[in-house]
Amino acid sequence: MTTYGLSAAGLIVPRQADFLEIIQGEFDARLTALGFTQLPDYDHDTFEGEITEIMAQLLGQQSEYDQAVYDARSPGNATGIQLDSLALIAGVTRNAATYGTATGTITGTVGTIIVQGKLIEWGGDAGDARWALTDDITIPASGTITSTWQAVEKGEIIATTGDTVTIVTPVSGWTSVSFAADATPGNELETDAALRVRRQQSLQRSGARNSAALLAALLDLDFVTGAVVLTNRTAASVTTDGITLDAYTVGCVVAPSTITTTQKAEVVAAIYDSLGVTDGTGGTNLGTVTKSDGRVETIYYSLAANSNVTVDFTLAMESGYVAADVEDALEELVSDYFLTLSVGATVYPSPLIALAMSLDGIANVNALLLNGGASAVTHTAVQLPVLSTFSVA
């Protein structure tokens, strides 16, 4: 007989079918103890059958809730707010979604005042993403003025110089706004998968100053989407994963490559604080740290460039389904998977195939091409794999 409850083996809860068997068995036993010789008929069309099934169903649902709460104690099973709580215990908070920003040029009649909050439409999936002016401006004698804009919605809104710009809240004397550079996208709310990875890596941090603590410190920066730390413990210069390191140096690679000057300073500070030294770093970028004694020291690091990966599925569909039925759901799963990949990661076909097979309607993955080939796509430590294009057929 199964023993239910919490034990050294974990939590074992009865299912609906188990509850039905227990309830009916207990009912029969009590009636027998009272001297009844004719026991109830538990067929579906009887009162006894219906009432015991209802009871078992409700208790089975409660068991599922209990199991879910128990499972949520594990980072691998926890989601949403439960995962946030587990991460917070380790000193890690979920990276919030952020707003995109852009710098443009407003053209119009001299003396025209355009107040903060005026809206334009520019970029986005449907070309209708809205951006708000961040400060009041007055058009000067030149007829043009630099302006700063912030996306109305948080997240990774893509707006490029080739996209049409439309004034949503017109002002008399305001002729146009143009952009000489693409917008800097905001960040999406950190996914559960990415938070699990960052929480695990943060546990490597210790009081000692080492490469694991340095990696955790870099990943704690909310704008960092990936990082890797390489070490050269030899007396000779070596080139590893695209980075040349002098003897006895540490190389840090950070993504994305589009971080701002202020964010670069935060990267340099994290490296200095974690290593406790100002020499022994290698990379293609440099920054400075001013020590408490006023001395300025140099820190080297590298920025990872995006490596675009194309993903093309050929699917065998179950009866009644076509590939278009699952395209959006599968693309979302694949996109989330790429967000979990860090700098230098290899993109393997098998996890992507497993994601496809988890969806209803897909009978089999007949082919999966990554960058046009059937093999895994490898990267060096100065490359961050990102999803470029996605298709199903």
Distance CA 100, CA 156 (A): 7
Report the length, in residues, of the chain. 393
pLDDT of amino acid 201: 67
pLDDT of amino acid 207: 44
pLDDT of amino acid 227: 87
pLDDT of amino acid 193: 87
pLDDT of amino acid 381: 81
Distance CA 264, CA 218 (A): 11
Q: Which residues pair with 184 in a beta bridge?
A: 101
In sequence order, the 6+-apart residues with CB closer than 8 A to the CB of 167 are 118, 119, 120, 174, 176, 177
pLDDT of amino acid 70: 78
Q: Is 275 left (phi over 0), alpha (psi -120 to 50) or beta?
A: alpha
Q: Which 8-state DSSP code applies to residue 264?
A: H
For the CA atoms of 375, 365, 311, 361, the dihedral, rounded to the nearest 10 degrees, stands at -160
SS3 103: strand
SS3 175: strand
**Residue-level pLDDT, tens digit, the chain, 393 residues:** 578 888 777 788 899 999 999 999 999 999 999 999 899 999 988 999 999 999 999 999 998 888 888 777 777 778 888 888 888 776 788 888 999 999 999 999 999 999 999 999 999 999 999 999 999 999 999 999 999 999 999 999 999 999 999 999 999 999 999 999 999 999 889 898 888 887 776 665 544 456 777 888 888 888 888 888 888 878 888 887 677 888 878 888 998 888 999 999 999 988 888 775 544 677 777 888 887 667 788 888 889 888 999 999 999 999 999 999 999 999 999 998 988 888 888 999 998 999 999 999 999 999 999 999 999 999 888 888 999 999 999
Domain extent listing, the chain: 5-71, 99-178, 204-303, 306-392
SS3 377: strand
Q: Which residues of 139-155 are buried (b: 16+ CB within 10 A; e: fewer)?
A: beeeeebebebebbeeb
Distance CA 167, CA 107 (A): 12
pLDDT of amino acid 123: 95
pLDDT of amino acid 380: 85
pLDDT of amino acid 287: 85
Which of the listed CATH numbers 2.40.30, 2.30.240, 2.60.40, 3.30.559 matches domain 99-178? 2.40.30
